[in-house]
Amino acid sequence: MSSTPSTADSVAALAARFRAAEALPLAPDASTRLFARLRFAAGGTAVAMIDAAGGAAALDRMAAANELLTGVGVPVPRILDRDDALSALLFEDAGDTLLADALPRLSADARRRVYERAARIAARIGLAGTPLLDGAHPLSRPQLGRPRLRWELSLFATHDVAARRGEVDWALFSELGRFFDHLCDGLTLGTAELAHRDFHARNLMLAANGGLVVVDYQDALLAPVHYDVASLLRDPYVEPDAALSKAAAAAYAAERGGPADLEADPDFALAALQRDLKAIGTYASQARLLGRERFLASIPAAERLARRALPALPLDLRDDARRLLDRLRFAAG
């Protein structure tokens, strides 16, 4: 009978394959991938990733995303080596400093500058990356279209509303279903753009020179407009305040040559609300299914951020959204 290799076995296999003197597992993200930092006898480090569930197809997709993002000037770690038997990639080491962890140590001015830089990167991914996605490009499919967006919201209903909050009112679930349908309809009316798909402060590394490095980009795909900047500015891990969000939104708009008042844009509000409801469902499922209770600490922030989307929602959704968030006792903004 075959069995899934343990973390220790997988890390040892990475060290052997890439000839490292030492391999240390890194804290897991909200996925099934395994990461380890490798140290080499001759000096230097690298980061290895195993994606056993995704296999070679996932490695192909990540390599394609790496090439495309590098080509449009997005700072991502170089891929140094690959092993299909292990479903592993070896990356340039981007360091240990997550933007989310560094923010409390930065001055208000430094936080503003780094968020403006991040917002411009988000704009570049959409503006420069999208024209490169002809029908044959690996990132052209699948898209973050209505079926996927709606499925993500169903996970919010299942793992958070039903399981964590203990709601059993079928009338409430029927109303949520109708609202989710309308929200996804609104999100998918416009033109899709390339998005990182999870562009927030725990997937941005702060380099020693103050620059940013983008990681965890393997799920890059076509998504609703403003999806990445909504992820950045409505990030429950750090809950950017209104002033920081405004400065970053202005930098994003300037990079795109669009209206400066991004946060009054209904397309942004739709993406932001869906992102935060999806995030709550992810946090609840991580705790419920994998025992990762630490994710629950981010739910109150996600609730507050979801409420911040309400004023800019289209009129036909705004009242329904407010009523449902009140009914679910979302934290006040």
Q: How confident is the model at residue 105 (pLDDT cuts 50, 70, 90)?
A: very high
pLDDT digits (tens, 9 = 90+) for 284-326: 999 999 999 999 999 999 999 999 999 999 999 999 999 999 9
Q: How confident is the model at residue 193 (pLDDT cuts 50, 70, 90)?
A: very high
pLDDT recorded at residue 2: 43
pTM above 0.85, yes or no: yes
Same-domain check for residues 162 and 133: yes
Same-domain check for residues 80 and 133: no
pLDDT recorded at residue 3: 52
223 CB-near residues (< 8 Å, 6+ apart): 143, 144, 192, 193, 194, 195, 197
Domain boundary pick from 58, 92, 126: 92
Q: How many helices (H) and strands (E) would you count in the chain?
A: 11, 9
Same-domain check for residues 256 and 109: yes
Distance CA 251, CA 113 (A): 10
Report the chain's mean pLDDT, rounded to a whole number.
93
pLDDT digits (tens, 9 = 90+) for 115-165: 999 999 999 999 999 999 988 899 998 899 999 999 999 999 999 999 999
H helix intervals, 34-94: 55-71
Is the pLDDT at 1 greater than 60? The verdict is: no
Domain boundary pick from 92, 112, 130: 92
Structure tokens at 14: 């990475």
**Is position 318 within any domain?**
yes
Domain extent, residue 35, equals: 7-92
Same-domain check for residues 47 and 178: no
Other CB atoms within 10 A of residue 198 CB: 22
Three-state DSSP at 330 gives coil
Same-domain check for residues 311 and 172: yes
pLDDT recorded at residue 28: 64
- Say which CATH number the domain at 61 has: 3.30.200.20
Number of domains in the chain: 2
pLDDT digits (tens, 9 = 90+) for 7-43: 889 999 999 999 999 999 987 666 688 999 999 999 9
Domain boundary pick from 60, 75, 92: 92
pLDDT recorded at residue 85: 95
Is the pLDDT at 69 greater than 50? The verdict is: yes
**Is position 332 within any domain?**
no
pLDDT recorded at residue 15: 95
**Is position 1 within any domain?**
no
Same-domain check for residues 189 and 241: yes
pLDDT recorded at residue 134: 86
Is the pLDDT at 259 greater than 80? The verdict is: no
